[in-house]
Amino acid sequence: MMQESATETISNSSMSQNGMSTLSSSQLEAGSRDGRSSAGDTSSEVSTVELLHLQQQQALQAARQLLLQQPGSGLKSPKSQDKQRPLQVKQLPQQQQQQLAAQQLVFQQQLLQMQQLQQQQHLLNMQRQGLLSLPGPAPGQAALPGQTLQPPAGLSPAELQQLWKDVTGGNGTGGGNGGGLDLSTNNSSSTTSSSNPAKASPPLSHHSIANGQSPILNHRRDSLHEESGGTHPLYGHGVCKWPGCEKLCEDFGQFLKHLNSEHALDDRSTAQCRVQMQVVQQLEIQLSKERERLQAMMAHLHMRPSEPKSSPKPLNLVSSVTMSKNLPPASPPNLPQTPTTPTAPITPMAAMPQVPSVLGGANVPSMGAMRRRHSDKYSMPLSSEIAPNYEFYKNADVRPPFTYATLIRQAIIDSAEHQLTLNEIYSWFTRTFAYFRRNAATWKNAVRHNLSLHKCFVRVENVKGAVWTVDEVEYQKRRSQKITGSPSLVKNLPSSLGYGTALNASLQAALAETSLPLLGTPGLMNSDASGLLGGSPPGLLGGSPPGMLSGSPPMLMQSAHEELNGSLDHLDTNGHGSPGYSPSAHMPPIHVKEEPLNMDDDDCPMSLVTTANHSPELDDDRELEEGNLSEDLE
C-alpha cells in the first residue's frame, strides 16, 4: 500500500513537474537559454529530474537577478557565479527587459515552489512515518498561482541547500557546514523516500527534528523578530535556526545579537520570510490533500469509512513497526485500521515495512528484539495501541510491537479473574493476534520462558492445576526502571512497524497520556478499539486460520459482546471504566488462589469451550477498555 502510495506520489510529482514546465515553458526557454547552454547539457535524453534541475538553476539565476535589480535590495551578488554570467538583461531593449523581468518573476516563483515542494516532501515523508503532526490546512490560504500541490520533485538535499543558500544570498552568516537549510539530516529520504519512504528514511533523531530538521515547524509560529526571554524559536542547540543560517551562538545573547545584525529587516530577510510563509502554506495545503487521500484509501480498504477523520490523528503515531507507531487512541500511525476483509490477508507492508510478508513467517528471526520495549519503554498503554487496530492485529499476520511479557500481562489482566492458565494465555495470543496463529512452538516456548523468567508473573497452584497471575508491583517496578532509564526517545521502530520511529513512539506515548479520558469513554473505545482481550473462546484456535476471521464491525461486536457469557462478569468484576479496576491488577497472587474452582468453570467455557462462531472480539472490547483504563491509570 505504501509503496503504491509512493508510486502514486512519484507519478504525481512528475505530473506536477510537467505542469510546472508547461506553465511557463516558453518563458523558461526564453529566459533560461543561457542557463541551459552554460549548463552544457547536451545529452539527448534528459530525465525529468535533470530537466527540473536545469529549470531550477535557471529559475535560481533569474530570481537572483531579479533580486539584485530590486532597488534598495540588500542582497549582494553571489560572487562567483554571477560574475561568470554577466547580466544580459542590461543589454536588452527595455521592452525585452520588462518581459524578462516578468519571466524572472515566474522563475522566482518556481524556485520558491520547488523549495516548498521539496520541503513538503520532506514533511510528508515524516508524516508518513508518523513523525509529524501537522495542523490542518489554514483556511483561506491559497496556493501560489500556477502552483500545483503535488509532491515535489526529487531535489537532492544538496541541491536544496544550494537553493537556500542562493536565496539567502550566498553564504549568509552561516557558520559551520555552509548553513544551508538543514535538510541533510534525512537527506536520503528526499530522493529515495519516494519509492520507499519507510525504509529509505533514516531514523530521525529527536535532535534532528529539534534542530533544524523541521525549521518549518519552528517557524510556523515565529514572527520575524519575535523574541522571548531566554528562548527563541529561531534559536536552538546553540545554533541560529534561521533558514539557511546555522550560525553558532554561544549563548542567547549572542544569538540575539546575531539575529539583529544578520537577520535584520531587509530585503533578504523579507524574502526568506516570504519563502517560509509559502512553504508553510504549501505544507498545510498538501497536508489536507494527503489527508483526503488517506481517507479515500482507508475507505477503499474498508476501514471504517464511517469515521470521518476530519482531523485524523496526526500520523505521528505510527509505530513502527511496530505498531508502534501508533498513536494512543489514535492508531498506529500508519496502520490501516481494522481491515475487514479477512479473505485478503492484510499486508501492512506499507505500514510495517519490516514486517515479513504475510504468512511468510520468515520474519520471525529478524524480529528479534525489535519490538521490544515499545510499550514498556514509552509507557505506551498496550491496549490503547492495540485497541484501535484490534482488527488489524487480529487479521493481519503482523507481529505486534510488544514484548511477550507485555502481552502476557495484558492477557492476564484482561481476564475476568486476572489469572489464566498457560493454555488460556496461548488462546489469548492466537485469538488476539493473527501472527500467533503460526509458529506455535516458537512463541509458546517464548511465552513459557517469559512466565518463568519474569518475577512479575506468579504461578499459582490451583486445584485443577496452575494459573498465572501478574504481580503488578513487580511489573511496574520493572517498567519504571526502563522508563527512567531511557529518557531519549529516539529510535526507529521500524523493525516492528517500519513506520515509526522512536519519535513516533514518544509522540504516541505522549498522546496516549493525554488521551486517557478518551480511553475511558466507552463510545470511543467501542468504535475504535473493539476489544482486544477478553475471554472469548478460543474458537479461533482450531478453527479459523488466519485470514478467516470475520471482521465484525466494532459496533456489532459490541452488541454481540453483551451476549457473551463473560461480558457481564467482566463488567462487574472490573468495574467498567472505573479506576477501581486497577486494584484488581494489583491483586496479590493469594487472592487469585482463593477462587480457583469458579474461575475454572468460567474460564473454561469462555476460553476453551466454546462459542464457536460468535466473534471473539466481543468480549474483548470491553476488556480492552478496561485494560486501557487500568494501564492508563497506572
- Whose cell is 533569474? That residue is 62
Question: What span, in angstroms and rounded, lies between the C-alpha atoms of 361 and 80?
Answer: 58
Q: What residue type is assigned to position 404 of the chain?
A: Y
Residue 272's identity, in one-letter code, is Q
Binding of DNA at residue 371 (CB under 7 A)?
yes
Give the nearest distance from C-beta 470 to DNA in angstroms: 14
Binding string, residues 499-528; x marks residues near DNA by CB under 7 A: ---x--------------------------
Query: Is 235 near DNA (CB under 7 A)?
Result: no
Interface with DNA (CB under 7 A), residue from 495, 515, 552, 574: 495
Secondary structure class of 459 (helix, strand, coil): strand
Size of the site for DNA (CB under 7 A): 47
The DSSP string of 214-260 is: SHHHHHHT--TT--BTTBBTTEETTEE-STT---B-SSHHHHHHHHH
Subset of 464-493 contacting DNA (CB under 7 A): 465-466, 468, 478, 481-482, 485-486, 488, 490-492
Residue from 515, 513, 550, 411 nearest 469 by CA: 411
Q: Out of 249, 315, 351, 405, which residue is the one contacting DNA (CB under 7 A)?
A: 405
449 binds DNA (CB under 7 A): yes
Residue of 2, 20, 351, 367 interacting with DNA (CB under 7 A): 367
SS3 7: helix
For DNA, the closer of residues 472 and 617 by Cβ is 472
Task: Tell me how far, at minimum, the Cβ of 582 lies from DNA, in Å.
Answer: 21
- Least distance between DNA and beta carbon 407 (Å): 8
Residues in a beta bridge with 457: 470
Give the one residue of 86, 135, 368, 543 binding DNA; rule: CB under 7 A: 368
Residue 418 binds to DNA (criterion: CB under 7 A) = no
The reply to whether 426 sits near DNA by the rule CB under 7 A is yes
Least separation in angstroms between residue 564's CB and DNA is 23
Q: Which is nearer to DNA, 10 or 364 (CB)?
A: 364
Interface segment toward DNA; rule CB under 7 A; list 152-160, 285-293, 434-442, 559-567: 434-442
Quote the cell numbers at residue 352: 510495517
Buried/exposed 275-298: b ≥16 CB within 10 Å, e otherwise: bbebbbbbbbbbbbbbbeebbebb
Q: How far is the CB of 350 from DNA (least distance, A)?
A: 19
- Please report, to the nearest 10 degrees, the dihedral formed by the alpha carbons of residues 538, 540, 543, 548 taken in order: 170
Q: How far is CA 240 from CA 176, 218, 231, 246, 260, in A?
A: 11, 12, 12, 5, 12
Rounded alpha-carbon distances, angstroms, from residue 430 to 417, 438, 450, 565: 20, 8, 17, 20
Assess contact for 340 and 554: CB atoms under 8 A.
no
Shortest CA distance to 385 belongs to which of 408, 407, 366, 370?
407
Q: Does 81 bind DNA (CB under 7 A)?
A: no
The least distance separating DNA from the CB of residue 132, rounded to whole angstroms, comes to 19
- Among 122, 165, 219, 373, which residue sits at the site for DNA (rule: CB under 7 A)? 373
Give CA torsion, residues 25, 30, 34, 37, to 10 deg.
60
Q: In angstroms, give the least distance from the CB of 458 to DNA.
A: 9
Which residue, 334 or 527, is less far from DNA as judged by CB?
Answer: 334
Q: Which is nearer to DNA, 450 or 574 (CB)?
A: 450
Binding of DNA by 63 (CB under 7 A)? no
Nearest residue (CB) to DNA, 25 versus 442: 442
The correct pick among 44, 369, 484, 523 for binding DNA (CB under 7 A) is 369
Among 98, 270, 442, 598, binds DNA (CB under 7 A): 442
Cα torsion 511, 514, 516, 518: sign: negative
Give the nearest distance from C-beta 320 to DNA in angstroms.
Answer: 9
Question: What's the grid cell of residue 626?
Answer: 478496561
Question: Which of 78, 312, 494, 538 is the binder for DNA (CB under 7 A)?
Answer: 494
- Nearer residue to DNA within complex by CB, 299 or 422: 422
Stretch that binds DNA, among 124-132, 165-173, 226-234, 400-408 (CB under 7 A): 400-408
Q: How far is the CB of 402 from DNA (least distance, A)?
A: 7
Q: Which of 17, 109, 421, 628 binds DNA (CB under 7 A)?
A: 421
Does the protein bind DNA through residue 364 (CB under 7 A)?
A: yes
570 binds DNA (CB under 7 A): no
State the DSSP H helix or E strand holding residue 457, giving kind and residue range, or none if neither.
strand 457-462
Is residue 427 a contact residue for DNA (CB under 7 A)? Answer: no
Contact string (CB under 7 A) for DNA, positions 319-358, x = contact: ----------------------------------------
- From the list 537, 552, 557, 558, the residue with the least C-alpha distance to 605 is 537
- Candidates 309, 448, 586, 591: give the one binding DNA (CB under 7 A): 448
Question: How many whole angstroms separate alpha carbon 542 and alpha carbon 437?
Answer: 10
Give the length of the chain. 634
Stretch near DNA under the rule CB under 7 A, chosen from 161-169, 265-273, 290-298, 461-469: 461-469
Residue 510, SS3?
helix
- 382 belongs to the binding site for DNA (CB under 7 A): no
Our finding on whether 608 is near DNA (CB under 7 A) is no
List 341, 445, 598, 613, residue binding DNA (CB under 7 A): 445
Place of cell 509529524: 132
Neighbours of 559 (CB within 10 A): 14
End-to-end Cα, the chain, rounded Å: 37
Give the Cα separation of 37 and 115 in Å (integer).
24
Task: Single out the segment in contact with DNA by CB under 7 A; choices: 124-132, 146-154, 303-311, 462-470.
Answer: 462-470
3-state helix, strand, coil in the chain (%, to 5): 55, 5, 40
Pick the closest to residue 180 from 205, 207, 160, 152 (CA basis).
Answer: 160
Q: Are 198 and 353 in contact (CB under 8 A)?
A: yes
Among 304, 325, 372, 409, binds DNA (CB under 7 A): 372
Among 217, 396, 451, 549, binds DNA (CB under 7 A): 451
Is 452 a binding residue for DNA by CB under 7 A? The answer is: yes
Closer CB to DNA, 405 or 411, in the complex: 405
State the nearest-atom distance from the C-beta of 166 to DNA, in Å. 37
DSSP secondary structure, 108-146, as one string: HHHHHHHHHHHHHHHHHHHHHTT----PPPPTT--PPTT
Closest listed residue to residue 293, CA positions, set 499, 529, 18, 2? 2
Cβ distance to DNA smaller for residue 255 or 426? 426
Binding site for DNA (CB under 7 A): 364-373, 376, 402-405, 421-423, 426, 439, 441-443, 445-446, 448-453, 459, 465-466, 468, 478, 481-482, 485-486, 488, 490-492, 494-495, 502
